[in-house]
Amino acid sequence: MPPEPPPPALRLIIDREALAANWRALNALSGRASAGAAVKADAYGLGAAIAVPVLRDAGCRDFFVAHWGEAASVAPLAAPGTVAVLHGPLSPADCAFARALGVRPVINSLHQARLWRDAGGGPCHAMVDTGINRLGLSLADLADPLVAGLEIDALLSHLASAEEDSPLNAVQLARWQEARRMVPHARASLANSAGIALGADYHGDLTRPGIALYGGVPCGALAPHIRQVVRPEAAIIQVRQLAAGDGAGYNATFIAPAAMRVGLISIGYADGYLRCWSGKGTMRSADGAALPVLGRVSMDMTIIDLTAAPHLREGDWVSADYALPEASAISGLSQYELLTLLGRRFQR
């Protein structure tokens, strides 16, 4: 057998206490409702194997993934019946898998309702579309006998513009309340992260925060309650001296104005640190010195200015400025992209 590889020169620091604290804050803001957790996309890039136990131990009892393959990895980390698959069943095999694993399918259409009924049924969730025009049963579908025959635990809907002062929020709220009157269900759920800040009318019995759990701030009202969770770090793999007039990186988009000391770090666009950070990003030394990104970000490497940290050497680590709201404003990426782009090469 080949030896185990050494740790990579790239790591993702995950503040587990901040993650737990964010869930507790969102749960408290949910009032009489309880907060679940969207853990799809490998817990928004953090790693479900890390995030789900933290959230479970903090008190979370409802977890939402998108794909059946995600359910296979999340279900062993949570109690039976607490994991739901948002995309619902597309085949009898999906239904059989759900029943064997003890996870809830989310029924989004009459076709999915029929598949679940024909597989033997049982507890499920149902999504009703109230105006986002993505997945979900229409209000007209709710009168169908197939829906009446479902054993619905949570009746879900999803807000399209919760982070904005949009009239669509009130329209969706009214439609969701109408759906609640039409369909028997044990619980009801409408609010995502930003929806929690819209107030008690939007909370129902269960809220479904996602981005805010992981340090994202989708609306100003949540800013005082959310802590940063994720910080990428990379090792310096080479130190170089540039002379005045030397170019650095592809196409020499940075030209040294004077003699300077630079470092190559082990992070690039293959890791989710995209070219949009070129000439804009900042790394930090352990003592907080700012180390600007120079020139164009490469696939596996980024060049940084070491002027403010003359003590740094090859093998030392630097961290990226990656508080999500600020990083989004600088990079032009959404807070969601900043997390879910983080690649597999990071040691988490």
Three-class SS of 193-228? HHHHCCCHHHCCCEECCCHHHHCCCCCHHHHHHCCC
Whole-model pTM?
A: 0.96
Task: Tell whether 157 and 74 lie within a shared domain.
Answer: yes
**Catalytic position from the list 40, 44, 202, 214:** 40
CATH number of domain containing 277: 2.40.37.10
Tens digit of each residue's pLDDT, the chain (348 residues) = 889 989 999 999 999 999 999 999 999 999 999 999 999 999 999 999 999 999 999 999 999 999 999 999 999 999 999 999 999 999 999 999 999 999 999 999 999 999 999 999 999 999 999 999 999 999 999 999 999 999 999 999 999 999 999 999 999 999 999 999 999 999 999 999 999 999 999 999 999 999 999 999 999 999 999 999 999 999 999 999 999 999 999 999 999 999 999 999 999 999 999 999 999 999 999 999 999 999 999 999 999 999 999 999 999 999 999 999 999 999 999 999 999 999 999 999
How far is the C-alpha of 214 from the C-alpha of 7, rounded, in Å? 24
Does 347 map to a domain? no
Structure tokens at 328: 């989004």
Is 250 designated active site? Answer: yes
Does 21 map to a domain? yes
Does 225 map to a domain? no
Task: Tell whether 148 and 254 lie within a shared domain.
Answer: no
Does 103 map to a domain? yes
Is 280 designated active site? Answer: no
How far is the C-alpha of 13 from the C-alpha of 113, rounded, in Å? 42
**Pairing between β-strand 230-242 and β-strand 247-248 as defined by DSSP bridges:** unpaired
Q: Which tens digit of pLDDT belongs to each residue from 40-64?
A: 999 999 999 999 999 999 999 999 9
How far is the C-alpha of 78 from the C-alpha of 80, rounded, in Å? 7
CATH number of domain containing 91: 3.20.20.10
Task: Tell whether 188 and 294 lie within a shared domain.
Answer: no
Task: Tell whether 274 and 302 lie within a shared domain.
Answer: yes
How many domains does the chain contain in total? Answer: 2
Task: Tell whether 181 and 262 lie within a shared domain.
Answer: no
How far is the C-alpha of 215 from the C-alpha of 24, rounded, in Å? 13
Task: Tell whether 51 and 165 lie within a shared domain.
Answer: yes
**Catalytic position from the list 44, 202, 214, 250:** 250
Task: Tell whether 202 and 243 lie within a shared domain.
Answer: no
Task: Tell whether 59 and 112 lie within a shared domain.
Answer: yes
**End-to-end C-alpha distance for the chain, whole angstroms:** 25
Task: Tell whether 148 and 239 lie within a shared domain.
Answer: no
Task: Tell whether 198 and 128 lie within a shared domain.
Answer: yes
Task: Tell whether 84 and 160 lie within a shared domain.
Answer: yes
Which helix (H) or strand (E) segment holds residue 335: the answer is helix 335-340
Range of the domain at 305: 230-340
Does 284 map to a domain? yes
